[in-house]
Amino acid sequence: MASQSFAERDGSIWMNGEIVPWSDAKVHMLTHAMHYGSAVFEGQRAYNGKIFKLKEHTERLFASADMLDMEVPFSQEQINDACNQLLELNNLTDAYCRPIIWRGSKMMGVSAQEAGINVGVAVWEWPSYFSEEARLKGLRLCISDWRRPAPDTAPVHAKAAGLYMICTLSKHKAEAAGYDDALMFDYRGQIAEATGANIFFVKDGVIHTPKADCFLDGITRRTVMDIARGMGIEVIERAIMPNEMEGFEQAFLTGTAAEVSPLSEIGEFRFEVGEITKNLMHAYDAIVRQ
């Protein structure tokens, strides 16, 4: 049986300052964001009824909107209140929260000064992005055909809808080939990230991760780096070339949805689900549930 459409779920959604029934949260076909990708969003997780790092996520949401020349007609406090209100209204404790800002349908064309800025928030129950069994075995990644764009070709530090088009294509191809996800290189051929998560490597007790200079500097990424340094583990942010993967012992992904997910394979390279990765996975799981 096919899974239920997100348009057909029960519950309430916050849309432009009002609580509306889930099925009534609609936009017109000629919405600018649908044609030109003019939308920014956040992905947040609630654990035990509390959204982890809500303030930081909303700050990034507004920063992304500013990068896309969007003046948000609501305050950060209003968005935070909406997220928390929806958890209560929908009777959710462990959930995913999706705030989104998009250009509307008042103007159609590349120019969109008068299109109107809309804001919505939805929350729903959502299990781990990857199954527990898959996490413990280590996820398998292939190498994407697509590369993360250069900073002078796209607003690469915004969590913008249009930037995920190549992520969808990469993940579809990976799953069709039996993989869990795909690793993406950047425009220079350096290791960048997976389709929706940042990547880390371990060698000789030291953690290495690509500098987030052309892709999203994830909130979970920064959290895990702080956890690792608190454990006395050195973390190095640097350019990492693909051939270096041969020398790394462990690898893992981080993200709001992925949390901390160990890797066993990236293309021809193999990794162990080692103690550093396991310790970070368990430490992160404990922190978000405090």
For 33, the token pair is 């964001």
Q: Which pLDDT value is given to residue 130?
A: 62
Q: Which pLDDT value is given to residue 239?
A: 98
Long-range CB contacts for residues 128-136, cutoff 8 Å, separation at least 24: 128/257, 128/259, 129/196, 129/255, 129/257, 129/258, 129/259, 129/261, 130/180, 130/258, 130/261, 134/180, 134/261, 135/261, 135/262, 135/281, 136/262, 136/273
50 is catalytic: no
pTM of the model as a whole: 0.94
Work out the number of other CB atoms within 10 angstroms of the CB of residue 86.
23
- Residue 9: CA count within 13 A, CB half-sphere: 17
Domains by residue range for the chain, with CATH: 6-124 (3.30.470.10), 132-288 (3.20.10.10)
- The pLDDT tens digits along the chain (290 residues) read 357 899 989 999 999 999 999 999 999 999 999 999 999 999 999 999 999 999 999 999 999 999 999 999 999 999 999 999 999 999 999 999 999 999 999 999 999 999 999 999 999 998 666 666 667 899 999 999 999 999 999 999 999 999 999 999 999 999 999 999 999 999 999 999 999 999 999 999 999 999 999 999 999 999 999 999 999 999 999 999 999 999 999 999 999 989 999 999 999 999 999 999 999 999 999 999 98
Q: Which pLDDT value is given to residue 132?
A: 66
- Residue 289: CA count within 13 A, CB half-sphere: 8
Q: Which pLDDT value is given to residue 126?
A: 82
Catalytic option among 50, 106, 137, 159: 159
